Structure formats: structure tokens, C-alpha cells
Chains A and B, each alone.
Chain A
Amino acid sequence: DAMVIQNPRYQVTQFGKPVTLSCSQTLNHNVMYWYQQKSSQAPKLLFHYYDKDFNNEADTPDNFQSRRPNTSFCFLDIRSPGLGDAAMYLCATSRPGASSEQYFGPGTRLTVT
């Protein structure tokens, strides 16, 4: 089945220790997104790509970076995680266009100790 895959599902890192989250898709969608979602809050868009065209949201902290080496893969790097970065990180993909729904991966739950 075509899908969006995120690894790992649960990640524990130490305060200040860099961590990378990964996402892959078999849907061949042009657009990929990274969201941060904290409990009972709206998903917050961190980055999105249209193909390799990178878009950084204005309020995404510099501590977060992203890479998309090819259509299928996308990575989220957190350079120096703080306690406030503990959250669910969601990867999503879509076709371009207004009516195109976003398909989400299962998410990575990040804990910072």
C-alpha cells in the first residue's frame, strides 16, 4: 500500500543532543511537510517542500533544519533539543493544488530528557 512512513515512532534524546527524524513516502507526491504538534494544540507547520523547493515558515526556530535529498525522503534535524521541543512530529505529503488532501505518517513522539 502507498503510504507515509516515519522512523522512529518514539525517540528519546538528551537536552542539547542533536537528533534526526526521518520520513519516507511511496505516494510520489511533490509536496512534503513537517509539523510539530503538542498535546491538545493545532499542528504547527515547520517546513514544506514543493519538490526540492524549500520553504521555511517565518516562525520556525533556527534550531530546526530540514533536508529533502529526493522525492521519497525528508529529514528533520533538531540541532540542540530543548525541553520545549518535546512533541509529536508529523510528516505529511500531498499533490500540489488547493483540493489536495494531506496524507500523514504515524508521527514520531520526541521526548527530551
Chain B
Amino acid sequence: GQNIDQPTEMTATEGAIVQINCTYQTSGFNGLFWYQQHAGEAPTFLSYNVLDGLEEKGRFSSFLSRSKGYSYLLLKELQMKDSASYLCAPMDSNYQLIWGAGTKLIIKP
């Protein structure tokens, strides 16, 4: 079956760094997406990885290891506005996103 595993909730301090991990099992693989979703709002795209390694985009970076079925999202210089859920979504062989339930990130001053 297809499965996504990410922590339900994490807490971090403003200005710090946090790493949100995601492990996945899918039928085939066509890359992995990370989305940010603020409470009551729609998801917005953060990153896409299809090859192994780290992709950096400003304060956010995303890492992929296809052999391990593992990805992480790294958020630096945390700001209060980063309080949101972060959804890991690998794409299977049918080009369908398999969504995780998300990690709720709470930022404290």
C-alpha cells in the first residue's frame, strides 16, 4: 500500500531552525512535493524534489533520498508566520499526489 509518515506536531522557537521529516512508500515515484497550509486556508506550494539531494529556496530547503524513501523540509530563521501545517506529498507512478496528514508547526516567541 501507499503510506506517508510525518510527525503530527512540532514546536520551535522564533529565529531557530526546524527539520520536518517525512518517510513514504508509494507505487512508483515521480518526485515529492512539500506544501504549506495555514489554518483554514488552502495549501501553497513550497518545493519539489525528484533527484536525491538538497534543494534550497531562501529560508526553506528540502532534501530527498529516494533509496531510503525519505525527505525533510528544513526551515531556517523561523518567523511567527511560519506557524502552519507542512504537508509531504510524493507523486506515484500514476502522477497522483499521495498526501500526508501534515505536521503542525507551532512557533513560540
Contacts and interface: CB of A to CB of B under 8 A. Distances in A.
Given A40-B101, A42-B99, A45-B96, A99 B42 contact: no
Nearest to B99: A42
Contact of B41 (A44, A98, A106): A106
Contact of B101 (A42, A96, A104): A42
A102 B91 contact: no
**Which secondary structure dominates chain A's binding surface?**
loop
B101 A90 contact: no
A16 interface: no
Interface of B: 4, 30-31, 33, 40-45, 48, 50, 87, 91, 95-97, 99-102, 104
Given A42-B4, A44-B99, A48-B96, 14 more contacts: A40-B101, A40-B102, A45-B96, A90-B42, A96-B95, A98-B31, A98-B50, A98-B91, A99-B50, A101-B33, A102-B33, A102-B45, A106-B42, A109-B40
29 contacts: A40-B101, A40-B102, A40-B104, A41-B101, A42-B87, A42-B100, A42-B101, A42-B102, A43-B43, A43-B87, A43-B99, A44-B99, A45-B97, A88-B40, A90-B42, A92-B42, A96-B95, A97-B95, A98-B31, A99-B31, A101-B33, A101-B45, A101-B48, A102-B97, A104-B44, A106-B41, A106-B42, A107-B42, A109-B40
